[in-house]
Amino acid sequence: MKEKDLLGRIGKLKTKSGTVETPLLFPVINPSIQPVTPSRLKEEFGFEAIITNAYILKKRYLNQPVNLGLHKFLGYDGTVMTDSGAYQILIYGGVEVDQAEIVSYQESIGSDIATILDIPTGWRVTRDQASLTVEETLRRARDFFKLKTREDILWVGPVQGGRHLDLVAKSASEMGQMQFQIHALGSPTEVMESYRFDVLVDMILTAKKNLPIERPLHLFGAGHPIMFSLAVALGCDLFDSAAYALYAREKRYMTENGTWGLSELDYFPCQCPKCSHSTPSEVLSKSAKEQEVFLAEHNLYACSGEIRRIKQAIRDGRLWEYVEAKTHAHPALLTAFRKLKEHSGFMETHNPTIKRRGLFFSGLEAFSRPEVTHYREKLSNRYVHPEGSRVLLLAPQTRTKPFHKAREFQKIQPALRRLDGNMVNKIHVCFYVAPFGVVPMELDEVYPLSQHETASPIEDATLGRVADEVASYISSSHYKSVVLVHDPLNWSDHVKRACKKSCLEKRVKFNYLVLRENSTKNILTRLEMILKKNLSE
């Protein structure tokens, strides 16, 4: 693995036809109706891997792919993955081929990555039906190891269970104990078509939590670039897309922000080689076949461009910001993004603690961000304020960082300098900061406490959340008194009210003084007075 961000990662996958970089998208090839040939997919579009259906090959072309070898048959020298026909079972019900046949067929055509004959759960099924598909897929998975004869093929162990998360967990944990090189999450196509991305988040994370974390995870049928970044952030490494071709046939134009009908477009919002040299009306004047090819090619560019942007975001440590921006393209995606809150513990465990760049916070979603939950967890469970500190002096966050070196803080610092050393040691300076809550001064240079930017003015709901954090810090600590530097301009009354309430409950003395422009002298004198008084009591 080369780079990580959230559960997303840039990695290398070694196959017998070459090493490919993940996250990786496999365009789906249907040899009988293929708008863009496999060789062009590699040479012109840069797709290092493709996927095709072993069941369809066997049914339509019989021994031809066996005799020629899969790569020669397709005219493609990159990595070729084969699916077993499970999707056809889901759509048409029943496939006249058994697992032994389809395993041996994939071995004899020389797939680089191959799939056992699993049973997709589907979307609208009862728990009992779903359970049957899980059990049967597991039975076949165990059986498979007696059937396979080649060691140079990477085999996929699919996870089933649909939206029944306990079944997904069981399926993943038992599948994960078997020696598959890759896992796949089955049948999310219907989940995506009904825009239940929130269910998808639960499905993916349940699978991830129960599978060996290092093994690549393929998300079957997740072919729209609008959700690639979310899926990558959740730990999906591989995708396949039949959508680029299916959408093209229906005259639909994909972008990473949504889908348009070709006839709805007055301008192409894309700079790919196709769109740069054409306009929607020019394309519409062409034959149906030409329109389809144009759209398939554009759709492929849209998919590969999005994968590249996601990889760069992982490199930059900006995947969260990237996903956050993307999920604002559709309310269903934003709903899914907000679901991450429920999984913040798991996300936090696997998210790198230090990143190349600072964090950007734009709103309430920041409270679910792994770096923020990680900090809050550390502060409440492992942090003890310096021994002997009796007075908590709370100052507002400053515009520049670290806070204790900022100009705004320098305005109140002289009051501390005027006290004698003995007294100063009894004062613990902390900052109240969105979205972290309380930041002790001695920690304010630790990543990411000084390496973040927050949009201002800070919205009301965020102020309220930070105030709650401050209150809970006070109630779990052991100060004798609390002095708040109150900043009504930026913080309204939230923190003041929360401090007051918390101090009252804890029977701790509470004072505040108001921070105003151009009144440095007054505030210093008052602060000095309050501190001296509190320390002498």
Query: CB-wise, 275 or 482, nearer to Zn ion?
Result: 275
Among 28, 32, 19, 93, CA closest to 59 = 32
According to the binding rule CB under 5 A, does residue 270 interact with Zn ion?
A: yes
According to the binding rule CB under 5 A, does residue 298 interact with Zn ion?
A: yes
Which span (290-298, 380-388, 430-438, 479-487) binds Zn ion, by CB under 5 A?
290-298
Rounded to a whole number of angstroms, the minimum distance from the CB of residue 276 to Zn ion is 8
What burial class does residue 485 get, using C-beta atoms within 10 Å of its C-beta: 0-12 exposed, 13-18 middle, 19+ buried? Answer: buried
Rounded to a whole number of angstroms, the minimum distance from the CB of residue 272 to Zn ion is 3
Helices (H), ranges, 20-164: 38-43, 54-61, 64-68, 70-74, 86-92, 99-109, 127-147
Rounded to a whole number of angstroms, the minimum distance from the CB of residue 274 to Zn ion is 5
- In sequence order, the 6+-apart residues with CB closer than 8 A to the CB of 8 are 23, 232, 233, 234, 235, 310, 314, 319
According to the binding rule CB under 5 A, does residue 300 interact with Zn ion?
A: no
Question: What one-character DSSP code corresponds to residue 46?
Answer: -
According to the binding rule CB under 5 A, does residue 307 interact with Zn ion?
A: no
Residues linked to residue 20 through DSSP beta bridges, in sequence order: 13
According to the binding rule CB under 5 A, does residue 275 interact with Zn ion?
A: yes
Among 68, 100, 125, 272, contact with Zn ion (rule: CB under 5 A): 272
Rounded to a whole number of angstroms, the minimum distance from the CB of residue 257 to Zn ion is 13
The string over 270-306, giving b where at least 16 C-beta atoms fall within 10 Å of a residue's C-beta and e elsewhere, is bebebbeeeebeebeeeeeeebbbbbbbbbbbbbbbb
- Would you please indicate which residues are annotated as catalytic (active-site) residues? 83
Which span (173-181, 298-306, 388-396, 526-534) binds Zn ion, by CB under 5 A?
298-306
Rounded to a whole number of angstroms, the minimum distance from the CB of residue 298 to Zn ion is 4
Rounded to a whole number of angstroms, the minimum distance from the CB of residue 309 to Zn ion is 14
At position 460, the amino acid (one-letter code) is: D
Q: Compute the distance between CA of residue 25 and CA of residue 393 in angstroms, rounded to an integer.
A: 53
According to the binding rule CB under 5 A, does residue 262 interact with Zn ion?
A: no
According to the binding rule CB under 5 A, does residue 293 interact with Zn ion?
A: no
Which span (141-149, 158-166, 271-279, 339-347) binds Zn ion, by CB under 5 A?
271-279
Q: Which of residues 428-487 bind Zn ion (CB under 5 A)?
A: none
Phi-psi region of 162 (alpha: psi -120 to 50; beta: other; left: phi over 0): left
Rounded to a whole number of angstroms, the minimum distance from the CB of residue 44 to Zn ion is 13
Q: Compute the distance between CA of residue 142 and CA of residue 501 in angstroms, rounded to an integer.
A: 60
Which span (32-40, 179-187, 266-274, 392-400) binds Zn ion, by CB under 5 A?
266-274
According to the binding rule CB under 5 A, does residue 283 interact with Zn ion?
A: no
User: Rg of the Cα trace of the chain?
Assistant: 29
Query: CB-wise, 302 or 366, nearer to Zn ion?
Result: 302
CB count, 10 Å around CB of 252?
Answer: 16
Query: CB-wise, 276 or 381, nearer to Zn ion?
Result: 276
Interface size with Zn ion, residues (CB under 5 A): 4
Query: CB-wise, 270 or 323, nearer to Zn ion?
Result: 270
Q: Residues in the chain, how many?
A: 537
According to the binding rule CB under 5 A, does residue 265 interact with Zn ion?
A: no
Q: Compute the distance between CA of residue 26 and CA of residue 236 in angstroms, rounded to an integer.
A: 13
Query: CB-wise, 271 or 400, nearer to Zn ion?
Result: 271
Query: CB-wise, 277 or 407, nearer to Zn ion?
Result: 277
Rounded to a whole number of angstroms, the minimum distance from the CB of residue 301 to Zn ion is 5
According to the binding rule CB under 5 A, does residue 254 interact with Zn ion?
A: no
Query: CB-wise, 47 or 436, nearer to Zn ion?
Result: 47
Which span (114-122, 291-299, 317-325, 443-451) binds Zn ion, by CB under 5 A?
291-299
C-alpha torsion sign, points 359, 361, 362, 364: positive
Q: Which of residues 73-112 bind Zn ion (CB under 5 A)?
A: none
According to the binding rule CB under 5 A, does residue 29 interact with Zn ion?
A: no
Q: Compute the distance between CA of residue 86 and CA of residue 101 in angstroms, rounded to an integer.
A: 14
Q: What is the 3-state secondary structure (H, E, C) of 197-231?
A: HHHHHHHHHHHHHHCCCCCCEEECCCCCHHHHHHH
What burial class does residue 249 get, using C-beta atoms within 10 Å of its C-beta: 0-12 exposed, 13-18 middle, 19+ buried? Answer: middle
Query: CB-wise, 254 or 499, nearer to Zn ion?
Result: 254
Q: Which residue has the tokens 């048959």?
A: 73
- In sequence order, the 6+-apart residues with CB closer than 8 A to the CB of 204 are 185, 217, 219, 231, 234, 235, 236
According to the binding rule CB under 5 A, does residue 224 interact with Zn ion?
A: no
Q: Which residues bind Zn ion (CB under 5 A)?
A: 270, 272, 275, 298
